[in-house]
């Protein structure tokens, strides 16, 4: 949690391995679920952090992402928006288990340690499926 809401701070924290980025100014209705999710081991990004990632996406060619299946790219793009497994499953008409499988494969293929790194990678690629 931080009070710093700049592109540089968000990107630096995530590049350094932070599992999430939350602003202290978030209303309790948003802050409390994020903190509980982080405490449970989930990677979380505030909507503001996701917007910073979107604003700085490069859309540069990424051969590893370009080699993904269309479904894997869809899952990755939704991860880049900060979506949960349940939300991704509902949007793509998949089971949560299938989404978890895609996320695990994406982490292995792209060499990411967690969902936050996947989201950062998606954002840097342009977040397009």
pLDDT at 98: 96
**Would you tell me which CATH number, out of the four given (1.20.120.790, 1.10.10.10, 3.40.50.920, 1.20.1260.10), belongs to the domain 7-125?**
1.10.10.10
pLDDT at 92: 95
pLDDT at 57: 56
CA atoms within 13 A on the CB side of 81: 13
Higher-scoring residue by pLDDT: 65, 14: 65
**pLDDT of 1 strictly over 70:** no
**pLDDT of 101 strictly over 60:** yes
pLDDT at 7: 63
Closest by CA to 119, choosing from 57, 32, 34, 29, is 57
- State the helix-helix crossing angle for 115-125 and 70-80, rounded to 10 degrees: 100
E-only strand ranges, 11-125: 20-21, 44-45
pLDDT at 108: 94
Highest mean pLDDT among 15-24, 49-58, 83-92: 83-92
Average the pLDDT over 106-110 and give the result: 93
Q: For the whole model, what pTM was predicted?
A: 0.59
Residue 58: which pLDDT band, with cuts at 50, 70 and 90?
low
Closest by CA to 76, choosing from 48, 45, 99, is 99
Task: Determine contact, residues 38/20, Cβ cutoff 8 Å.
Answer: yes
pLDDT at 23: 72
**pLDDT of 103 strictly over 60:** yes
Q: Which string of DSSP letters, residue by residue, matches 13-38?
A: HHHTT-SEE-BTTS-HHHHHHHHHHH
pLDDT at 50: 66
């Amino acid at each position: 949690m931080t009070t710093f809401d700049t592109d540089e701070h968000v990107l630096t924290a995530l590049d350094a391995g932070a599992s999430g980025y939350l602003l202290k100014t978030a209303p309790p209705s948003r802050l409390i679920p994020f903190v509980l999710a982080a405490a449970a081991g989930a990677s979380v990004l505030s909507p503001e952090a996701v917007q910073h990632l979107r604003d700085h996406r490069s859309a540069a060619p990424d051969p590893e992402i370009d080699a993904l299946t269309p479904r894997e790219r869809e899952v990755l793009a939704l991860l880049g928006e900060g979506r949960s497994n349940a939300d991704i499953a509902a949007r793509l008409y998949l089971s949560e288990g299938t989404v978890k499988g895609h996320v695990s494969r994406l982490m292995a293929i792209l060499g990411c340690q967690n969902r936050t790194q996947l989201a950062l990678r998606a954002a840097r690629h342009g977040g397009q499926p």
